[in-house]
Structure 1
Amino acid sequence: MNQAWELPRPAVTASEANMIARDLFGVEGHVIELGSQQDRNFLIDDDHGGRWLLKVSNSAFSEAVVDAQNAIMRRLHEHGLNAPQPVQTVDGGYKAPVELRDGRHFARLLTWVEGRPLIERSHLSERTLQSIGELVGDVSLALVGFAHPGLNRSIQWDLRRAGEVIFGLLGFVRDHSRRTTVEKATLRSLQAVNPVADKLPVQTVHGDLTDDNIVIDDEGRVSGIIDFGDAAESWRIGELVIACSFVLHHDPSRPLAILPLIAAFDRKIGLTEEEIGVIWPLLVLRGAALVVNGLQQVSIDPENDYARNALEREWVVFATASHHDADVMTAAIRAAIRADSAPLEGWRDAVPFIQDVREIQEVVLGYDSRTLENGEWLGDAELVETAQLEAASQKGLAVTRFAEPRLTRAGVPGPEEPVNVPLFVDVASSSPIDLIAPVSGRVAADGWAITLTAGDLALVIEGEPRWMIHHGKVEAGQRIATFDGRIKVWYVTADRAEAPQQLPRFVRSSEAPGWRSVFLDPAELLTPSGEHREVDPSAELERRGRAYAPLQGHYYLRPPQIERGWREYLIDTNGRHYLDMVNNVTALGHGHPRLAAAVADQWRMLNTNSRFHYRSVAEFSERLLETVPAPLDTVLLVNSGTEAVDLALRLARAHTGREDVACVSESYHGWSVAADAVSTSVSDNPLAEQTRPSWVHVLEAPNAYRGRYRGAGAGMHYARDAVRQIEAWSAEGTPIGAFIAEPRHGNAGAIEVPDGYLLKVYAAIRADGGLCIADEVQVGYGRQGDVFWGFEQHPGVVPDIITVAKAMGNGHPLGAVITRSEIAQSLAAQGTFFSSAGGSTLSAKLGTTVLDIIRDEGLQENAGAMGQRLLEGFARLSERHSLIGAAHGRGLYLGLELVRDRITLEPATAETRALCDRLLQLGVIVQPTGDRQNVLKIKPPLCVSTASIDHFLDALDTALSDAI
């Protein structure tokens, strides 16, 4: 035991701390002790609303050390960083000695840094990690060239002394297995660090930029740093490593979650190659130091609950870092921040290791596979892969792609990144496979694995050998063995091949760049290479921004690249399946085979416009009219919801001769000039109020949850006000020609239009000669479960015009206006109406097929049942999570409104965005909506299953618990 590292906290109580603050600094008030490993910290709320931190330093810290800490705080403040500042004593100094029962200590009063410690947030988003990296970089930059005599000290947290500290305190690890693990990991890490130790830049560091000492504000943004007790001169890279270390206990299943932090720090500082090379070994040493120091502290200070409560998470930090291959993790880090990382080079002048082949058949098992159909990849992976290989092997030598994320190994949406990237290739043949030595080397057998080693590389083949021909030395081109039908092949560095049975098979996509530093593509030793060409979503996003106008936005800061779908799943280029909880466009789900077959068949036959005479346009129009009340008898087909709204407004103007239109606030109807004019949502158009033309008149949104009138009876109050306003407009000489509204306020968050409102408003509009338009683009088409159209939930309400799109085409551009024939005929004086693709043979056939599938598969009924399951789940979650204010909607058109206070209804806007980001990590795609951006819009494909609903509720529970 090293007594120099025995640092029990000062013996001082809260009442004594209050007296110290009063006598030395003139401050007193309510005192609360805060946690600390070695000092004593007290929060003091004085009688004037001020907040202060009284810090009584450990007696081991000299006056020079305390002065150095004060100087660093001032230095960071001068560089614009939010750090506590020392307060003068009554005698004019910035510290004061105090004699306590256990000796002499220094007391300081520091300004309070507002916010809460980052450790209170269990999940750290990519945005948060990036901002932490920037903060750590800013601290390092601010301390460049800073020197002070009090910084030249030996402390147990200095990573330069990690080996000395760990072995000095190793005896405190009482568990033999854990102690052995710590010892071995420490030795291994020191072997990596020691050779470059003298090349690592040294400077003043904070030394403890952890989640205990980084402060965030109410929005979750990094806002300040505290606790300078470990400031010293040390390796610059140690500042980064210490910040990375705490991330590992927040998310141990994703060790490379630290990459955004490292990249942000690197952009500020510019890491050297030596620093990059020691990040992971130093992470292991940091974890080991946490373990031994924590156990020692609890041993000498048994009442230190702060230290005791940290023990398990400190073990998680060490265990996570030491469990992963340091070389692989280092390569992954280097690949993430250095675009010019040198690839591993393979054997030169190698001959193919299989030569007697007719033709190589590439077997694609990734997102772009055309032989995996209709979700069959979700079955038993081995059976599906075997079937694919056997089918291909009938035509030649079947070879899978190296490092291709396999759909077969991805599984359904889940909270973890799938382990689905193969570090080998499968090879299959309808006849025996003769294995040829590609280069001269040595052959060894270990069970079913045969290894050929030559230089620094090896080829490992796993299969059922019919016979083994060569052991030991072999020449290039010689036959080594013959296998029955199928083998797995690794091409790897020789040191990894020493234990062929332990070679990894599948890894995560995030870790694959690291593993590629020691694994090569075996198909390079065949012709042609079957290597999977990795997709870079970031590069593709930049490409999109160059050619595709950025105002056509995208979800998420760093969105996954979605290239495939199946039912309620969206699939990215890494094969990961996400639960699609936001896509009301694809009502049937993604990749529906019946719809795909109908579309393909029609394309082969004909696709032309509706000025030609064909059956499908009439058939589809008749099917639409079967869903609406009798007064509505005419269909006009268009390409989108925006076009449908635009046409509806034009029809109303032609029929009534009036220009003026009434709409409700917080609504969205489209992007064309007319549709945008009647769209009042500022979340879609921040300039909606300033750019609104004079012919548009806005009624207050009838929101019975947060509007002027609330609860039962709100609809009649809103209707009364609306009718008075409509009558006033008419009296002013601007009678309303059309009133447009959704039967449920979809864009506002599936907000209910309260009972009685539409009936009264429709009556007032019609009494004054106007028409009523129901915008069903989002809320109609069976999505609400118990009704096919949204207006049907309002007894007695029948619109004059219905606009519809989205679900009609299941992603194909298809919309419609359904109205009465006399209204449609009113437009005849302005010429005929025509939409090139709106009523095309393909669009019409597709539209009819969608209606058939909704009926035949009971999707409207499923929407009702799954919607009820969601609402029941939301009710349960609201009992545990106060952030849930209300659940709006019905069926599969729902909105979950999040508030900071259920009384004031303060919108939880930042929390909603954080929740969406966290849900993406958990395998769920959902987005905010509404003018306050505090409502989760929940509108999945109508085919969504019970299992998917339950997964969403579980993920939401997790996200509400740890993302806020």
Structure 2
Amino acid sequence: MSALIAPEGLPRPAVSADDAVRLAAEFYGVGTAQVKELGSQQDRNFRLTAADGVWQLLKISNPAFTRTEIEAQNAAMECLAAAGFAAPLPQLSVNGEPVESTVLGGQKHCLRLLSYVEGAPVIDRPHLGPALRSALGDWLGRASTALAGLEHPGLDRSLQWDLRHGEEVVAALVPFVRAEWKQDLLLRTLERISSTLAPLKDQLPVQAVHGDLTDDNIVCASGPRGSVELTGIIDFSDAMYSWRVAELAVGCSALFHHDPVNPLTVLPMIRAFHARAPLSDAEVRALWPLIVLRGAVLAVSGEHQVTIDAGNDYASDALDREWAMFEVPARYDWNAAEASIRGALGMELPSPPDTSAWLPLVPGLPVPAPVDFSWDSEEFSNGSWLDGAAEEERIFAEAAGAVLTRFGEARLTRAAVNSAEEPANTAIAVELRTAVPAAVHTPFAGTLSAAPDGTVRLEGAEAVVVLSGVQLEAGPGPVDAGARLGTANQLTVWVQLPGAYSAAETPPRFVKASEFPGYAAGFLDPSALFGLPPATPAADEALLERRTNAYDALQSHYYEAPPRIERGWKEHLISTSGRHYLDMVNNVTSLGHGHPVVAETAARQWRRLNTNSRFHYASVAELSERLLAKVPDSFDTVLLVNSGSEAVELALRLAKAFTGREDVLCVHESYHGWSLGADAVSTSVSDNPRALETRPDWVHIADAPNAYRGRHRGEGAGAAYAADVVRQLQRLHDAGTPVGTFIAEPRNGNAGAIGTPPGYLEQVYAAVRGQGGVNICDEVQMGYGRLGRHFWGFEEHGVVPDIITMAKAMGNGHPLGAVITRKEIAAALAGEGSFFSSGGGSTLSSRIGVTVLDVIEKEQLQENADAVGQLLSQGFRELMDRHALIGAVHGMGLYQGVEFVRDRQTLEPAPEETRAICERMLELGVIVLPTGDRQNILKVKPPLCFTEESARFFLAMLDRVLAEGW
């Protein structure tokens, strides 16, 4: 072992590309057209390309490795190939040998010609999604199982990469690490590794391992529909006998440089490995220390290698990556990591100690009042929590007497908007605030110590109490239960199990919500020290199950594992974990979530009166007048309803009554609502897979006027589509079923804000009217200033419909819709009785409707939609120049669609990629969803208060996902 880590180390053999060509010809009779050196720490690898284009790999091993070791590597390759993996296999030389020997530079080297395994190393992918990490873990488990039965004398090796010798390697090579702080961290960490692994080593099974099953040595290819498929395993240079769990530790360590801010990125890999090769309790206990040890070995070996082999760019380029592979797991809480692993594997966690005999920490203090910084705190309003620590101090200052924060609470004040990272906002400590200093005593007997930062530790037999903010009066050393420690009026308290943090480290006050279950296994709720019951964890998983059981599945939810959303502010949705998600889809909440003016209006009106429109009051007249002021003069009457579906339903009835005709013409890929009539004229198969085959006889469907991928494309498409409709109208008229109603959106919103080509609506409206029909413009999605340049979508086309339907934006989330038309059309329905909608024109709905119009004007939200929409449009065009997946950008203002295609010529849709992109965007803090019949368009329709800052964040995250993958 000592020879392998001597200062001279293992520099690569001095072999040039010309030498490789000569050796390949001499020993294997290979005529090489091209040669390219591939990276290696200690060997030389050359990819040879023959004249016929076939690739092979010439590998010249370091002279330190014997022929028996090389033959063992071949055996490992053949073992995994027999198990179904694509692996390099040795090719026989002209002498009929799989391994040849030659003298280079006065030393004997083994060389082999290996078959080439196609694929790109996984390391080339910046982002490794959960599915890919699971697939890697599955492969590690399968490979480990396959190699378990392999025996070969050449596997009994002494390698610096064998984690059984890892501690010795780190100790020997740490002097080569140039930064003193890095040396210090390595040595302190090495102590902990040694003490943790010492009692476990004899319990860890030993078998044949690949030894380097990392993202460097597992290759992949792009699969169908944007997926990633693992294709093979390469580089068996480190095949040996070692601990079985070391194979998993090596694979895990390679993940951290892909996602250094999320140490638990390894959980899918560990879970998948365990499903193939179940881990013992001892292996689980050893796993995280071995992951850290692997990173340490890489870090010191890399520094050593560049010292002895200065021209090795492969080694020098890896230094930062290898340091991350050590530092990320080394600095994470090891107890929390093990607990998280156990939780992921369904293993039991140790029972917490009995705290019933502990004494009060602050005896004589009245039970403090809990202070609430969570999502449902009534202390917060109008985004006040975004002031962060300042808002916390305000709440503390206004509290009377003693107050205590809550363990496990995800604080809104510790989260931020427009962040790609999950916030570290979940408390593993509690804070006590008192008006005057209070005496602090020991809850149990133990040993007292103080850290340089002022933190005080009381270490007992079963737990450690850590205090920050206490004015210490007692000296270090043993103390009895109930002993006075000092005073405090701003006290932070942790209760941890032994071994989590040393006396030199202060635990974090906050961790990520996703990491909290692991931390909660090593930190106890200190509330009992103040006479309060422990905090009750949120049962989010149980809630989703309750929803599934009681709330019919027809009413589906977004995402497979949806965050629980309970609060909103402006263009942000806030989960119960406090994370702020950028909301790109809520066109219903047009003004933004939690708008204070709407909230105050609603509360005031609720207190006064809420009744239906058959009573006489001012707001229903005011709302109707305000709506009429927004439309052309030909409109003179308003009918108020509850929803877009109800508005469309009413509009169809009005048109039928006025024309006396039942037949309706609509367009493909459109959606108008779920009620009987509205659904009848909805043709989108994304909402109803059987839409086209279940239309009633009185519904006729025209082609969607899509100039991007429809029958007619490009310039002149509008006239061509309109001519088709004119012919269709004539055929229906001649058949005795003349169309009485034409209904369409001014842009096809559900299809992805697809623009209606110029001239289309003008000609179709004229043709419909020419045959005695009326035109309904469905503005439920496009209207109310969302398009920026136009308040109504029909204004874009210079046309005036006969009936306008609207909803969604009208009430900022309150159910409110309207139909605007001419009195002569409305009067036609009088023969069927009067019309009435209980909530549509109620005092509450009307007052909210007026308020929404006021806010749109006062806050210039239509102008904002125009300005920010232009920023988005320009950003999408720039992304389109960089990413071939974007085939087109549709829409304007704050209703846009980004269409993903696999080929810009064939326009093959990319629905699977679109879904995966949306899932990845959720991880980065953005809620955006697919739309359209092909489900390949991102729908971009945020609240109208959407800011330039949020637009830039969205564009940056989309760019990141398209560049890194999903």
Same-fold call, TM > 0.5? yes
Q: Partners in 1 of 2:74 and 2:498 — Cα distance?
A: 53
User: Is 1:212 the counterpart of 2:216 in the alignment?
Assistant: yes
* Residue 735, structure 1, aligned to residue 738, structure 2: yes
Counterpart CA distance in 2 for 1:716 and 1:590 is 41
Question: 1:404-419 to 2 correspondence within 5 Å?
Answer: 404-419=409-424
The TM-score with structure 2 as length reference comes to 0.90
1:346-398 residue CA offsets vs partner (Å, 9 max, x unmatched):
533223333445553211001111111111111141x32222123222xx421
Match of 2:656 in 1: 653
CA offsets 1:456-490 (integer angstroms, 9 cap, x no match): 4344444475x95898766555655444x443333
Query: In the alignment, which residue of structure 1 is the partner of 2:463?
Result: 457
Task: Provide the identity percentage.
Answer: 50
Structure 1 match to 2:854:
852
- Show the counterpart of 2:587: 584
Q: Which residue of 2 aligns with 1:527?
A: 531
Q: Give 1:253's aligned residue.
A: 261
Secondary structure of the residue aligned to 2:532 is: coil
2:231 aligned residue (224, 230, 234): 224
Map 1:326-341 to 2 at 5 A.
326-338=334-346, 340-341=348-349
Tell me whether 447-456 or 180-189 shows the greater mean CA deviation.
447-456
Greater shift, 93-102 or 569-578, is seen at: 93-102
Distance in 2 (alpha carbons) for counterparts of 1:683 and 1:783:
23
2:689 equivalent in structure 1: 686
1:548 and 2:551 correspond:
yes
- For the residue of structure 2 that corresponds to 1:698, the secondary structure is strand
Provide the rounded CA distance (Å) in 2 between the counterparts of 1:94 and 1:778.
Answer: 73
Structure 1 residue 269, shift from structure 2 partner: 3.1
TM-superposition CA deviations, 1:319-338 (whole Å, max 9, x none): 22222232332233333433
Identify which of 752, 762, 768 aligns with 1:749: 752
Of residues 492, 515, 518, the one that matches 2:519 is: 515
2:428 equivalent to 1:423: yes
Q: 1:749 to 1:145 in 2, by over 3 A?
A: same
5 Å-filtered alignment, 1:265-280, equals: 265-280=273-288
Which residue identity lines up with residue 166 of structure 1 in the other structure?
A: V
Q: Distance in 1 between matches of 2:835 and 2:696?
A: 25
Whether the 8 Å contact between 1:415 and 1:921 is mirrored in structure 2 is yes
- Measured in 1, the distance between the counterparts of 2:19 and 2:663 equals 72
CA distance 1:194–1:73, shift in 2 (3 Å) = same
Q: Return the offset for 1:692.
A: 4.1
What is the aligned partner in structure 2 of residue 368 from structure 1? 376
| Contact 2:374–2:410 under 8 Å retained in 1 | yes
Distance 1:388 1:456, change over 3 A: same
Name the SS for the 1:642 alignment partner. helix
1:458–1:497 Cα contact (<8 Å) kept: no
Alignment of 1:794-833 (within 5 A): 794-795=797-798, 797-833=799-835
Other structure's SS at 2:720 match: helix
1:320 aligned counterpart, secondary structure: helix
Q: CA deviation at 1:118?
A: 1.9
C-alpha separation between the residues in 2 aligned to 1:673 and 1:420? 47
Q: Does the residue aligned with 1:894 lie in a helix, a strand or coil?
A: strand
Indicate how the Cα distance of structure 1 residues 895 and 195 shifts in structure 2: closer, same or farther if over 3 A, else same.
same
Deviation at 1:100, TM superposition (A): 7.2
Distance (Å, rounded) in 2 between the aligned partners of 1:660 and 1:34: 70
Distance 1:100 1:665 in 2: 75
Give 2:136's aligned amino acid: I
Match 1:778 to one of 776, 781, 784: 781
Structure 1 residue 765: deviation in Å?
1.9
Question: The residue matched to 2:954 in structure 1 has which SS?
Answer: helix
1:177 CA displacement: 4.2
Q: What TM-score results when the alignment is normalised by the length of structure 1? A: 0.90
2 CA distance for matches of 1:622 and 1:276? 71
What is the match of residue 242 of structure 1? 250
One-letter identity of the residue aligned with 2:702: L
Partner of 2:598: 595
* Contact preservation (8 Å) 1:251, 1:257: yes
| Letter in structure 1 aligned against 2:394 | A
CA contact (8 A) 1:209 1:225 kept: no
Distance of 2:130 and 2:788 partners within structure 1 = 37
Mapped partners of 1:16, 1:453: distance in 2: 63
| Aligned with residue 839 of structure 2, among 814, 830, 837 | 837
Q: 1:494 to 1:261 in 2, by over 3 A?
A: closer
Q: Which amino acid aligns with 1:509?
A: A
What's the CA shift string for 1:751-805, capped at 9, x where partnerless?
221211111111122222322222212111111112111111111x112222222
Find the partner of 1:569 among 546, 568, 572.
572
Residues 288 and 494 of structure 1, relative CA distance in 2, 3 Å threshold? closer
Which deviates the most, 248-257 or 423-432?
Answer: 423-432
Matches of 1:410 and 1:153 in 2, distance apart? 51
Secondary structure at the aligned position of 2:200 is classed as helix
SS in 2 for 1:755: coil
SS at match of 1:588: coil
Q: Determine the structure 2 residue equivalent to 1:890.
A: 892
* CA 651–17 in structure 1, closer or farther in 2 if over 3 Å, else same: farther
Cα distance change, pair 342–721 in 1 and its aligned pair in 2 (3 A): same
Aligned amino acid, residue 317 of structure 1: M
Deviation per CA, 1:693-740, whole angstroms, max 9, x where unpaired? 444333332233344444443322332333333333433444333222
Q: In the superposition, relative to structure 1, how do residues 449 and 220 fare at CA in structure 2: closer, same or farther (>3 Å)? A: same
Q: Does the residue aligned with 1:217 lie in a helix, a strand or coil?
A: strand
The whole-number CA distance in structure 2 between the counterparts of 1:963 and 1:440 is 55
1:762 aligns to 2:765 (yes or no): yes
Q: Tell me whether 426-435 or 361-370 shows the greater mean CA deviation.
A: 426-435
What is the aligned partner in structure 2 of residue 719 from structure 1? 722
Q: Structure 2: 5+ residue runs without aligned partners?
A: none
Distance 1:283 1:886 in 2: 45
Secondary structure of 2:537's counterpart equals: coil
Contact 1:86 1:94 in 2 (8 A): no
1:928 is matched with 930
Aligned pairs, number = 954
Q: In structure 2, what is the equivalent of residue 963 of structure 1?
A: 965
Q: Which of 630, 635, 638 pairs up with 1:635? A: 638
Q: What is the CA deviation profile of residues 600-619 of structure 1, one whole-angstrom value per residue up to 9, with x for unaligned ones?
A: 23333333444555444343
Q: Structure 1: state its 5+ residue gaps.
A: none
- Contact 1:63-1:106 at 8 Å conserved across structures: no
- Range with bigger deviation, 622-631 or 907-916: 907-916
Q: 1:109 and 1:26 mapped to 2: Cα distance? A: 12
3-state SS of 1:247 partner: coil
Q: Give, in angstroms, the shift of residue 907 of structure 1.
A: 4.0
Task: Write the distance in 2 (CA, Å) between the matches of 1:77 and 1:312.
Answer: 33
* Structure-2 separation of matches of 1:721 and 1:275: 71
Query: Any idea what the Cα deviations from partners look like across 1:396-442, whole Å, max 9, x if unmatched?
Result: 42111123111111122312222222332222233443434434556
3-state SS of paired residue (1:203): strand
Q: Distance in 2 between matches of 1:25 and 1:776?
A: 74
- RMSD (Å), alpha carbons: 3.5
Q: 1:496 to 1:173 in 2, by over 3 A?
A: closer
Name the CA shift for 1:727/1:946 in 2 (closer, same or farther; >3 Å).
Answer: same
For the pair 1:294 / 2:302, whether they are aligned, the reply is yes
